[in-house]
Amino acid sequence: MEYTDKVMEHFMNPRNIGEMENPDGVGKVGNPSCGDIMELFIRVEDDRVTEASFRTFGCGAAIATSSIITEMVKGKTLQQALEITNMQVAEQLGGLPDTKLHCSNLAADALKEAIEDYRRKQDDPNAE
């Protein structure tokens, strides 16, 4: 199995790693096929994602996709962020081996969850 240089680079030097203090939205998803888990935190201002960070317990591809999605999403409107697909995440990394494509679902799904969480909290500020 071959990872691109970009995958390796994000795996070895992940960007925006770690839990965020007082995030505006949190998305947590698990991959049922391998048991890996990703948590994605976002900060939102004026309907735009200004900051994102992650915690991932998973394979190299899961870590690389988490890392790059935190960069891809920065500055995007919530609508643009929702439109990021797992294929786009994989493309940004120069591709993923076929057997690892499912790993990129975690990143896109966690981002969607984080945005939904943010919107839920906007509707009901007392929601946890």
Pick from 66, 53, 51: which is nearest to 17 by CA?
53
Q: Is 103 in the site for ligand FES (CB under 6 A)?
A: yes
- Stretch in the footprint of ligand FES (CB under 6 A) among 20-28, 30-38, 83-91, 112-120: 30-38
Is there a catalytic annotation at residue 34?
A: yes
> Site for ligand FES (CB under 6 A): how many residues?
9
Rule CB under 6 A: is residue 55 a binding residue for ligand FES?
no
Bridge partners of 19? none
| 103 catalytic per annotation | yes
Query: Which entry of 20, 103, 106, 114 is annotated as an active-site residue?
Result: 103
Among 24, 36, 39, 113, binds ligand FES (CB under 6 A): 36
Q: Using CA atoms, how far apart are residues 115 and 24, in angstroms rounded to an integer?
A: 9
Residues 13-36 as b/e (b if ≥16 CB within 10 A, e otherwise) read ebbbeeebeebbbbbebebeeeeb
Token duo for residue 21: 């203090």
How far, in Å, are 1, 5, 30, 92, 105 from residue 84 at the CA level? 26, 22, 19, 11, 11
Q: Which stretch binds ligand FES (CB under 6 A): 45-53, 54-62, 73-81, 114-122?
A: 54-62
**Residues acting as catalytic residues:** 34, 103
Contact residues: ligand FES, CB under 6 A: 31, 34, 36, 58-59, 61-62, 103, 106
